[in-house]
Structure 1
Amino acid sequence: MGIVAFQWEEGENQLTLLQNRDNWDSWETKPAAWDESNQILSVLPVHSFGTWFGISKQGRLVFLVNPPKLNNLSPVLRPVDFLLREMSPWDFAREWSEKSNLAKIMNRGMTYHIIVADINSKSMVYISKGSAKDSNVHTEEVGFGVHTLSSSGLDIQFPEYLHRLKTFSCEMMSDIKDKEVTPMKELAERFTMYDPFETDKEDSEDIFGKVRQYEITSTIALAVKRNNEVMFHERFWENSKWNPNDFTFNIT
């Protein structure tokens, strides 16, 4: 369910993030919107209360990548759980990785790669469960710098297309490092057009099956500036065209 490239606590911004969402799961989705309290901005599956990306005005951030679903189980409620609570990223990660009965029940049959962060405390944690059959949940601190998140995990660079994704991400972040204003629309368009499988179609078929249906349905570009101003730009595919969706707000 998409790929993410982000630069954490380096460059002009506290965070610069790009996320493509593809159609592997064939979910009907809506453009990003504020919740009823006007405190949480998130992208929304039409038939679910969950999300794969969200950020709050309190500086809580979460984004999710999970492999194509092999069953009806989906971890999209996890990001909402983090956004609505006041737990630190590490406390949240520990809760879901511990061997309690609740954690075992909630993790059963799931695979996911989630990153949770608190912008104000500069804390970011990666949480992953690589196998639906394995009960083990991996957690680790995300260091400052440029990172990628894919259905294979955090900063995984094999097969070759994931190595190209990391190289491409570093190039994009380097291109904007001296710009006072992050070119959100330009970044989103460039990331939408990037095809990580461009030169190894056979590898992508081996991983995802003989019929490859890689199609981007939305791209998010997010920048959190040093003064806590947030710029959010989304390209959303609807009615056979790309539609812009923009928000600007401040983290308190």
Structure 2
Amino acid sequence: MCIAVFVWQNHPRYPFLLLLNRDEFHERPTKPAEWWEGGEILGGRDEIAGGTWLACSRGGRVAFLTNVLELHTLPDAKSRGHLPARFLESTKSPKEFAEEVVREAHQYNGFNLILADLSSKPMMVYVSNRSEEEPAVILEVSPGIHVLSNAKLDSPWHKAQRLKLNFKELLNQYGEEDDIQVKEMVEKLMRDTVKADESTLPHICSLDWEFNLSSIFVEIDTPLGRYGTRSTAALTLRAGGEVSFYEIYLENENWKEQTVKYQIDKLK
């Protein structure tokens, strides 16, 4: 489970700004964000399946993913984490790649996937294989603030609504001409442990599990080990093309942080 909030094409200094919490078992082997082989893709990696939940490229492509909360899953499903990696390695537009994903969507457990091109012709697309209306859905993401949790984009879950409201308020405090302090945003917004009232839970799985997952920052002791927020990333694009990838992450139960900056090739 993960949660992300982002502003897209709706801020004069930051065409794109994303905050994302990744939730996973603490014991699952994971690499923090780094440049992958070849030096073109930057992101973290799941060392078991080999995929990623968030990554970006020197050419200005970004992809991030959340799972859909569901009671029944496919035991032999393909790894969802390969979808962001495949997009970043491809030359297809976000919409073209989304159409490719839809054709094979039945082979995966529930996912929400955001695909974006931040270069000179910006475009962002949302694709999910768990739609109420049809087997899969592709939507072009409109300018503004959006939240992606474990249901469809901008679903009115407690944690999503709380994060969107607090994110908007903090953005307004900085103003349109000020630098946004991403570390402060992460600390104020993404480490929020307030849980939902049980009456507002989606009632998909057990109430205990849903209640424990209902906060923005998750911490749970389970029979399989500790589960919760393993890392928080803040990915920003400035109007001039500078990308900053800030990450705070758990390593051997200690929190570490790093920042990687680069210039999008097509905006140099």
Q: Normalization by structure 1: what TM-score?
A: 0.86
Cα 1:5–1:37 change in 2 (3 A) is: same
Paired with 1:114 and 1:207, the residues of 2 have a C-alpha distance of: 21
Matched, 1:244 2:257: yes
Q: Does 1:124 align with 2:124?
A: yes
Structure 1, unaligned runs of 5 or more:
98-102
Specify the alignment match of 1:7 in structure 2.
Answer: 7
Report the CA distance between 1:246 and its aligned residue. 1.1
Q: Once superposed, which parts of structure 1, at least 4 consecutive aligned residues long, lie more than 4 Å away?
A: 201-208
Residue 200 of structure 1 corresponds to 197
* Code of the aligned partner of 2:229: I
CA–CA distance in structure 2, aligned partners of residues 202 and 20 of structure 1: 24
Q: Distance in 2 between matches of 1:25 and 1:138?
A: 32
RMSD of aligned alpha carbons:
2.5
In the alignment, which residue of structure 2 is the partner of 1:155? Answer: 154
Post-superposition offset of 1:183: 1.1
| Corresponding residue number in structure 2 for 1:112 | 111
Could you tell me which residue of structure 1 aligns to residue 143 of structure 2?
144
Residue type at the aligned position of 2:197: D
Greater mean alpha carbon deviation, residues 60-69 or residues 3-12: 60-69
Deviation at 1:112, TM superposition (A): 0.5
2:66 and 2:113 in contact (8 A); partners too: yes
Determine what percentage of the aligned residue pairs are the same residue.
30
Structure 1 residue 68: Cα displacement:
5.1
- Residue 220 of structure 1 aligns to a residue whose secondary structure is strand
Letter in 2 for 1:141: E
| CA shift in 2, pair 1:110/1:19, >3 Å | same
For the residues of structure 2 that align with 1:92 and 1:208, how far apart are their CA atoms?
31
Structure-1 separation of matches of 2:24 and 2:167: 22
Could you say if the C-alpha distance between residues 169 and 227 of structure 1 is closer, same or farther in structure 2, counting changes exceeding 3 Å? Answer: same
Aligned residue for 2:94?
89
Q: 1:93 is paired with a residue of what secondary structure?
A: helix
Q: What does residue 187 of structure 1 align with?
A: 185
Counterpart-to-counterpart distance in 1, 2:45 and 2:29: 9
State how far apart, in whole Å, the 2-side matches of 1:90 and 1:199 are: 35
Shift of 1:175: 2.8
CA, structure 1 residues 38+190, in 2 after alignment: closer, same or farther (shift >3 Å)? same
Report what 1:80 is aligned to.
Answer: 85
Secondary structure of 2:164's partner?
A: helix
**8 Å contact 2:68–2:130 — kept in the other structure?**
no
